[in-house]
């Protein structure tokens, strides 16, 4: 009633309803009563602070004790008001806090524009999607909330985890990473929790697990979606109780770690299919950060190429190299199924193969040059410079050549990959004059 004329107001009667409302539509300001049904308002304040998603909060209470006010301010409240209160005074507090919050957001925005931030930790990107990732990391780095990083393989999930560690209060502690998909199921439990001497056949001495070695720092669980059900149950217990037991041991060991998990899978679907525990999912999914694939942020390719070129040139002991215009255009057009990791490998290969300080299109992998030719064909047809029949013929020749190269010029395997007969493949090879590279050299040199 007091604020409806100057604000858009949403109301929640319990902590759980408030959390749902905040998740659905993050507010610019929260008026929080201390006494609520079930959990108290201070519990909600503590949870929001841990998640790192805290807009200005004005705590309202009929309790005039100093202790309650001090606790509220420690938990991050911007102001504390006791009931009864003057309506105009409350309106003024709300107005001032909203104005201050808006000013702070504007300062951050202008600072980012002035700095032209394209780097964040070891991550690079000027695209809107990567800028949002940078802001998300900034918001949650200082909290101890569990973070789940999602994204396709090769998008740089470990770089996000390292940024969270380096920017947070645990930066002085260890950063320990484990790829859950790379360790056999029979060994993953010992890797995570350690083992006592004699726990199994080859356990000749005590060994600390990753939880213990990461204590005081960050534990990065990459590809957490690959864990078996039994390991998921033990991981959940470790996260809930902040204690572990080594294999073969009976004494609980306290561990102080911030867990950051990552996966290329759709974990929500895995939960729905019964392959991933829902209680573990909610424990690690406190703060989600989604990394976009490289094909959805093509404006970042040039920045990444420049960085990888500089690094690869230095490591190879060569002068700073550059990419010629045709090669760069091909890299920007390519869909990058392997994402940033694939791009980095391509640049390292190009630096190793380049004859001079300029990387040319022909020095890139064949599939990239082929994608560039197909893109050029499309543009030529659109511009009216190439007829449809000629464009289709060139496209068909490219597909045939790609299949033959992938099959090592084995015609039977190439025909199977194209779902045509070997006889038809041979007819098309003759039509387009497609021959293995060595035969082409022999023909040109007059030796066959």
pLDDT in tens, 263-284: 999 999 999 999 999 999 999 9
Instruction: Answer whether residue 377 shows pLDDT above 80.
Output: no
* Whole-number pLDDT of residue 400: 87
Q: What is the mean pLDDT of residues 171-198?
A: 88
72-86, 100-114, 202-216, 394-408: which has the minimum mean pLDDT? 100-114
d(CA 138, CA 123): 13
The one-character DSSP state at 436 is -
* Whole-number pLDDT of residue 120: 83
Domain 120-292 sits in which CATH superfamily?
P-loop containing nucleotide triphosphate hydrolases (3.40.50.300)
Share of the chain above pLDDT 90, in %: 38
Q: Who contacts 211 (Cβ-Cβ below 8 Å, separation ≥6)?
A: 192, 193, 194, 219, 238, 244, 255, 257
CATH 3.30.450 fits 397-448, yes or no: no
Categorize the per-residue pLDDT at 291 as very low, low, confident or very high, splitting at 50, 70 and 90.
very high
Instruction: Answer whether residue 441 shows pLDDT above 60.
Output: no
Do 294-386 and 397-448 have matching folds?
Answer: no
* Whole-number pLDDT of residue 107: 63
**What average pLDDT does the structure give for the chain?**
85
282-286, 294-298, 368-372, 409-413: which has the minimum mean pLDDT? 368-372
Q: What is the mean pLDDT of residues 415-419?
A: 91
Q: What is the sign of the dihedral through the CA atoms of 97, 102, 105 and 106?
A: negative
Q: At what angle do helices 366-383 and 388-406 cross, to 10 degrees?
A: 170
Domain 15-113 sits in which CATH superfamily?
Response regulator (3.40.50.2300)
Predicted TM-score (pTM) of the model is 0.62
d(CA 158, CA 392): 42
Number of neighbouring beta carbons within 10 Å of residue 29 = 17
Q: What is the mean pLDDT of residues 142-147?
A: 86
Q: What is the mean pLDDT of residues 417-442?
A: 81
More confident residue, 265 or 117: 265
87-96, 286-295, 438-447: which has the minimum mean pLDDT? 438-447
Q: What is the mean pLDDT of residues 325-349?
A: 91
The CATH number for 294-386, chosen from 1.20.1640.10, 3.40.50.300, 1.10.8.60, 3.40.50.700, is 1.10.8.60
* Whole-number pLDDT of residue 229: 92
Q: Where along the chain do its domains lie? A: 15-113, 120-292, 294-386, 397-448
* Whole-number pLDDT of residue 348: 93
- Residue where the block lists tokens 């470990």: 158
16-25, 44-53, 224-233, 240-249: which has the minimum mean pLDDT? 44-53
d(CA 38, CA 44): 11
């Amino acid at each position: 009633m007091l604020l409806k004329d100057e604000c858009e107001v949403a109301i929640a009667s319990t902590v759980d309803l408030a959390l749902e409302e905040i998740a659905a539509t993050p507010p610019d300001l929260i008026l929080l009563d201390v006494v609520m049904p079930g959990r108290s308002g201070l519990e909600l304040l503590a949870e929001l602070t841990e998640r790192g998603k805290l807009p200005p909060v004005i705590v309202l209470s009929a309790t005039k004790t100093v202790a309650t006010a001090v606790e509220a301010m420690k938990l991050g409240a911007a102001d504390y008001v006791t009931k009864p209160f003057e309506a105009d005074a409350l309106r003024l507090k709300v107005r001032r806090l909203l104005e201050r919050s808006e000013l702070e957001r504007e300062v951050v925005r202008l600072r980012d524009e002035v700095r032209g931030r394209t780097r964040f930790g070891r991550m690079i990107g000027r695209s809107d999607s990567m800028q949002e990732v940078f802001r998300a990391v900034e918001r949650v780095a200082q909290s101890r909330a569990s973070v789940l990083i999602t994204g396709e393989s090769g998008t740089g999930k470990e770089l996000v985890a390292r940024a969270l560690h380096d920017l947070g209060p645990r930066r002085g502690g260890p950063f320990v990473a484990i790829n859950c998909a790379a360790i056999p199921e029979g060994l993953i439990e010992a890797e995570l929790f350690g083992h006592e001497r004699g726990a199994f056949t080859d356990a000749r001495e005590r060994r600390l697990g990753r939880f213990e070695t990461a204590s005081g720092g960050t534990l990065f669980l990459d590809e957490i979606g690959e864990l078996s059900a039994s390991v998921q149950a033990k991981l959940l217990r470790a996260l809930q109780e902040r204690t572990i037991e080594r294999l073969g041991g009976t004494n609980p060991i306290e561990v102080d770690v911030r867990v950051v998990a990552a996966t290329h899978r759709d974990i929500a679907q895995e939960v729905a299919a019964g392959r991933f525990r829902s209680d573990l999912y909610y424990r690690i999914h406190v703060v989600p950060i989604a990394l976009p694939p490289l094909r959805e942020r093509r404006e970042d390719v040039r920045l990444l190429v420049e960085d990888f070129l500089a690094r690869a040139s230095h490591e190879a002991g060569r002068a700073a190299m550059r990419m010629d215009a045709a090669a760069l255009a091909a890299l920007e057009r390519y869909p990058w199924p392997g994402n940033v990791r694939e791009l980095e490998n391509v640049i390292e290969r190009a630096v190793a193969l380049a004859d001079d300080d300029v990387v040319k299109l022909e020095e890139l992998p064949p599939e990239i040059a082929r994608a560039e030719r197909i893109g050029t064909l499309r543009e030529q047809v659109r511009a009216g410079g190439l007829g449809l029949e000629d464009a289709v013929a060139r496209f068909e020749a490219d597909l045939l050549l790609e299949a033959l190269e992938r099959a090592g010029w084995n015609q039977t395997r190439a025909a199977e990959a194209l779902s045509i007969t070997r006889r038809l493949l041979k007819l098309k090879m003759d039509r387009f004059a497609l021959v293995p590279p060595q035969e082409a050299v022999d023909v040109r040199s007059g030796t066959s």
